Amino acid sequence: MSNPRSNGVHQRQIVLTIAIVLLALWMALEFLTPIAWAAVLAIAEWPLYRRAIKRFPRHPGTIALGFTLATALLVVLPLSLAAVTLAQESDGAIAWLKHAQQFGIAAPSWLPGIPLIGARVATYWQEHVANPQAANALLGTLSAGSILGWTRSIGGEVARESALFLVTLLALVSLLASGRTIAVKARTIFIGMFGAFGGEFLSRMTGAVRATVNGTILVSVVEGGIIGIGYAVAGVPQPLLFATFTVILALIPFGAWLIFGLASLILLSTGHVLAGAVLFAFGATVMTIGDNVVQPSVIGSAVELPFLLAMIGAFGGLAELGLVGLFVGPVIMAALLLVLQEWLEPAKPEQAPRTAA
């Protein structure tokens, strides 16, 4: 017969634990996103880190620091390239803006040739865009000062995000260096709380995070690289910059479509109709194959989600958590399916928990 006093003590311990966890989460609220990023990166890099540790077992901290610096370079270099290129192009953008406000924006030569609507669109363009007064009214709110103000605002956001990124890197070093201990303790806690299902659940979620991150990043880099070749062949200005943004935005559902769509419009507006149309068709083909054929095969069966749940997880995670939500959102949906399957399956005899590898 259980002791009521011991049961009461146990319940109070549970309440105290929950209260302390909630208090800790509240205190760390501003840092939850960078810590989540660090956890996602640590899980994704863990197999490579474990191989490095096997070769150099006496230097786990140094290897963790090396992995973190490599991660920082992979993130910082593309963004730095984009920032430098944008800064170089800012003078040209301001000069184009002043010219457009003074003389209007000439309609593309091919615009009247569009069947059915070409003549009407060309007339509207001439009245509202090509006319200097209309163009000045359209672009009157833009100026070098306003662009400078936007630049300063963006600079402030970059400084804030850089500070959070530093927190991510510091957390990543710690998670990698203590990864084995964290994994063993987490497995012990999950098995203690949920039985054999807890260990299986933790393994499945870890595999889902790793497969989602590696598959998404790999496919995004390949898609951006291939479409980047298309930019160079089609004659898009600053093809390397467009390729960089394509790789970055390919992480977001339908994000890369905006970039190669914009590149196609630039070609169309400069009279390169065939090149613009072929570039858009080429980009659409690459993205369709990459997102619907290559990425599911790379990710494999670690994240078996219906399309609707995958889309809700990706966009919902993006809206609530930012870019890290693209990886966390689908994993949460996969966890939901796994828990539902456990409840819906017939009761099975309790299995002995497996020992941690």
Q: What is the pLDDT of residues 227-257, one digit of tens each?
A: 999 999 998 887 888 888 888 888 877 888 9
Q: What is the pLDDT of residues 261-312, one digit of tens each?
A: 988 988 887 778 888 899 999 999 999 998 877 777 766 555 566 767 777 8
Lowest mean pLDDT among 167-176, 189-198, 217-226: 189-198
Q: How far apart are CA 56 and CA 76, in angstroms?
A: 27
Which string of DSSP letters, residue by residue, matches 120-186? HHHHHHIIIIISHHHHHHHHTT--HHHHHHHHHHHHHHHHHHHHHHHHHHHHHHHHHHTHHHHHHHH
Task: State mean pLDDT over 110-129.
Answer: 71
Which string of DSSP letters, residue by residue, matches 244-301? HHHHHHTTSTTHHHHHHHHHHHHHHHTT-HHHHHHHHHHHHHHHHHIIIIIHHHHHGG
Task: State mean pLDDT over 19-36.
Answer: 86
Q: How far apart are CA 252 and CA 56, in angstroms?
A: 37
* Averaged confidence pLDDT in the chain: 77
Dihedral, 115, 117, 120, 122 alpha carbons, nearest 10: -60
Q: How does 263-290 read in b/e, with b if 16+ C-beta sit within 10 Å? A: bbebbbbeebeebbebbbebbbebbeeb
